[in-house]
Amino acid sequence: MPKKTIADVDVAGKRVLMRVDFNVPIEDGEITDDRRIESAVESIKSVIDRGGRLILMSHLGRPGGGMRDPKFSLKPAADRLAELLGKPVKFIPQVVGPAATKAASEMADGEVVCLDNLRFHTEEKKGDVAFAQQLADLCDIYCNNAFGTCHREDASMHAVPTLVKQKGGPAVAGFLVQKEIQYLSEAIANPQRPFVAILGGAKVSDKLGAINNLLTKVDTVIVGGAMAYTFMKAEGKGVGKSLVEDDKVNDAKEILAKAGREVADLMLPVDHVCAQQLSSMAPTQVAGETIPDGWMGLDIGPKTISAYAGVINKAKTIIWNGPMGAFETEPFDVGTKEVAEAIARATAEHGATSIIGGGDSAAAIEQFGLADKVSHVSTGGGASLEMLEGKKFASVELLDEA
């Protein structure tokens, strides 16, 4: 990645404004998954261990109307970071304004300040320059360490680094952003083959761009999840009452036609675990390529699992984005778990490079205890998906060249 990183700049005595992704799940005030905070620690320590004065900013959830809402406060994230660092993190219940300005001006070398939720201001999502200017005024150096929002042009991602550069300050990447982009771009540009992409999830509309791009780059595209039923309908097969995006059936037909012209194989499920409702108590049946009326497909079936695992087992590069079924509810977690285990086996036994593309896939690999058995688990579902579509990020392009 030809961009300067935080390691390339002298931070001693300087105020570093770092955009992190602390958008973590919080229930009853407790963080239930702190992986995104942990993944930021390396860059954070690089600043404070070298005498930098670190100011952190992030979003959390979707607070409505840009109003301050305590349940979306970043205070729990700041507290968790303090535990991970073993030193205080000063939390400011403000994003811009007198308290934020005062905290930034009074910092000592090696200290950490965490501002509150950027999305308490509607200007963040709008990319507002006046709002960004107030943030840029807090610092000497800007660092983008938030891969999960690299595909967005929010004020903190785009306008702030632009303004910092205008006043002569560096705008650099954090180690997490560097690692994420390096893994994904290398995997797509220079893969070891066979190269397999596994795409699942509920909506084919979310994955159309990725499938179109990957069909020209990979050896096999494996499709699972509810998005498979839109393809089934495009093939004229019965889908019962499975989730289908009717307005995307023609797009699915076009992809099936394209797959017929490309070297890559497009694999669709050949059997399905079905129920009449999504419930762990509901009776199930395994249907073949046609799902009966009144039933819905909720997971890939045993023949499909076997076929998919066989392809994954031979792969040297694997990218996975999206579960194979409703993995949050037993017994519809089996397909996703078996695919995750196949990826882990290929990684361990054949040295495959395996990249898990954030979002539900990352949640699944964690749920099954396999996160440390794969090469890389991304912190950004939407961002990694856009990379699979072949898109570039304006927020990264504007960072200083190495």
Higher pLDDT: 289 or 115? It is 115
* CA 38/CA 80 separation, integer angstroms: 9
On the 0-12 / 13-18 / 19+ scale of CB atoms within 10 A, 349 is exposed
> Which amino acid, residue 119?
R
Q: What is the pLDDT of residues 244-263, one digit of tens each?
A: 999 999 999 999 999 988 88
Mean pLDDT, residues 32-49 taken together? 95
Other Cβ atoms less than 10 A from the Cβ of 99: the count is 14
> What type of residue is 79?
D
What is the band of 166 on the pLDDT scale with cuts at 50, 70, 90?
very high
Separation of alpha carbons 41 and 174, rounded Å: 10
pLDDT beyond 70 at 65: yes
DSSP secondary structure of 126-188: HT-HHHHHHHHTT-SEEEEE-GGGTT---IIIIIHHHHHHHTT--EEE-HHHHHHHHHHHHHH
Burial of 129 (0-12, 13-18, 19+ CB in 10 A): middle
Res 168: pLDDT: 96
Gap between the Cα atoms of 96 and 176, Å rounded: 25
The Cβ of residue 243 has, within 10 Å, a number of other Cβ atoms equal to: 18
pLDDT-based confidence at 167, cuts 50/70/90? very high
With beta carbons less than 8 A apart as the criterion, state whether 178 and 186 touch.
no
Model-level pTM greater than 0.85? yes
Domains and CATH numbers, the chain: 6-178 (3.40.50.1260), 191-388 (3.40.50.1260)
Residue 77: its pLDDT value, please? 97
186/300 Cα distance (integer angstroms): 30
Phi/psi for 50 (5° steps) reads -100, 15
Give the pLDDT score at 379. 85
Catalytically active residues, by annotation: 36, 203, 359, 382
- Confidence at residue 105, expressed as pLDDT on a 0 to 100 scale: 96
Give all strands (DSSP E) within 288-352, no chain letters. Answer: 296-300, 317-321
